[in-house]
Structure 1
Amino acid sequence: MADDESRQTTFGADGELSDRDPDADGTDDFGDPKDADETDGGYNRYAVSSLLQKAVRRSDEEVAAWAAWELARSGFAWNLWERLHLYVVEDLAAGQEVALLVDRYETLATDRWEPNEWRGRLCAIHAALACARARSSREGPNADEFFGNAAAARAEARETGEAPEADFPVGEFEPGGEYDVAFDAHTGEGSRLGRGAEFFKSHGARVGPEGEGDLSARWQRLNMALHEVDFSGAQIAHAIDPVDADDRWDEPSFDDEG
C-alpha cells in the first residue's frame, strides 16, 4: 500500500500522522482547541478530503468548493493539492485539461501567495470547481484493476493448462495475429521478417479513423513518391486512408513488400 493510501486509512486517529501548516490557527470556529486532524469547522480532515473526492466524482460543484475551502483555510492545503492532483487521474476522463489548471492554481496558491489566505483559498475553490465541472470517469482505476486481474488470471491459467477467465485485449500478440502491424522494423520480430520502410510507410504509420488532414496527407503522398522505395499507387492510397472504425487493425498484403 502506498504511503499516502495508508495515511488515509487511519482517518486521522493517530495525531502523529498529521501535518498541519505550523502557521495555522490552533482553535476552531468556536474558539475551542483543535485536534491534530481537525479542520476549523470542527470536521475530521480525512473525512473532508474524502468528501472532496466524492464531490468531484459526482460533479457536485458546491460541495467540492466548500471542501477545498475548508481544507485550505484550516492549514491542510498540502493535503488538498496532493489529493486534487490524484483526483484528475483517478476520477476524471483522460485528456481533461483541468490537470494543467490544478497545477497552475497550486503554483499560484503556494508559490506566489499563502495557501490559507484569501487568494490561496480562491485558488483552492477554483481548482475544485474545475475538477467538479470536468467529465467524471473511473476509467483509469477500472482499467488498472482489470489489467491486474487479467494478469493474475493468465498466470493461473498457465498453471492449470486451461483458458484464462480474462485475458489482455491483445491476446497472444504475435506476428501473423490481429495486431501483426505492430511488428515492423522497430521490433526484433519485424526486423527478422525483413519489414523495413516499405512496410512501415504502407501500414505502420496509418492513423484513424478520423484520418489525416489534407495537408498531412499531401505531405505523405509526396514523401512516398520521393522515397527510395518504389511504392505502388495502391500502397500510397492505403497509407493515407484512415483505418476502419469497425476493424482498426485490418491490413491488406502487398505482394511486393519486403
Structure 2
Amino acid sequence: MLAFYTLFLLLSFIIVGTKADYTFTSPAAGQTFAASSPITIKFEDDGGIPAMTEITSTQVLLCTGSNSAISCFSDNLVGTFTPSESKTSYEANLASLTSLGSNGRYFFQFYSVGSGGTTIHYTERFTLTGMTGTTKATDGGDTTPPTGSNSFNTGNDDDSVITKSNTIPYLSQTGRIRYAPMQMQPGSKVTHALTASRRFPTSSVTYFTDYTLRAYAITTKTPSWSYTISQAPNWVATLPSPTGYYAASEALKRTINAKSKRGYVDL
C-alpha cells in the first residue's frame, strides 16, 4: 500500500508539472561522450504550453554543478536553433568549448524565448572526456536534472491549444499530455440506436518491466464548454406543504410505539 501511495504521489507531481515544450529522451543519464565528437540531443514536444511553433528561438548551453548551484557557460553558447513541429533533435558540437571545464559531469540547458515568455529545461547529466579547462565539472551528488521553469502566459491559450490538438486522433497523439474532444451538450431526445455499441477503438496500455528513475505519466485534457447555460428565476407558484408529515421537533411530543413503522404514534 505504501509503495502504491508513493507511486501515486510521483505520478501526480509529474502530471501537474508537464506544462512544457521539451521532453528530453537523449542523452541518457550516465552516458559518456568525447568532447571532440558531436552529441545528439533528442527531444519531443509533450503537447503542453508553449507549442513549438510559439517559440522564436532556443539557446543551447553547456552546464555543470549541482541542482542548487547550476553553472552554465553563458558566454560560450553551444548553439541556437528555431524549433518546429518536425524537429526532434539537435546536434551539439563542443569542440570549441573543451577549454571551459575539466573532465566530469555536465548537462545541457535549453533556454527558449517566445512572444508569450520564456522556458528553461535541462537534460540528464552525462560525463565528458577530453576537456582541458580548469573549472571543475561536478554533479554535486545530484542524480536527477535541475527543475526547469516556464513563464509563458497561459491565459486562455490552454483552450486554443486543446482545440487545435483535437484535430489529431487521440491514438495518434504523442507526449505526456493528450487532448480529447469535449463532451457534447445533450440534445432534447435520443436519436441513437438503443443497442450499445463502441464509438471509438480501445487504447492500449503498457507497463514498466524495469526500474526507472523517472515515470512517464500521461494525462488527458479536454476543452472548456463551448456553450452557455441560460438561467432565470422559476416563477411557477410553489406547491402547498405536503400532508401526513410533521417536523422533526414534533417527534419529541409524540409517544413511542414499537408497533409503528415510524416509531411514533400519529396524532
TM-score (normalizing by structure 2): 0.21
TM-score using structure 1 length: 0.22
Highest RCO, 1 vs 2 (Cα 8 Å, sep ≥ 6): 2
Please tell me whether Structure 1 or Structure 2 has the larger radius of gyration of its CA atoms: 2
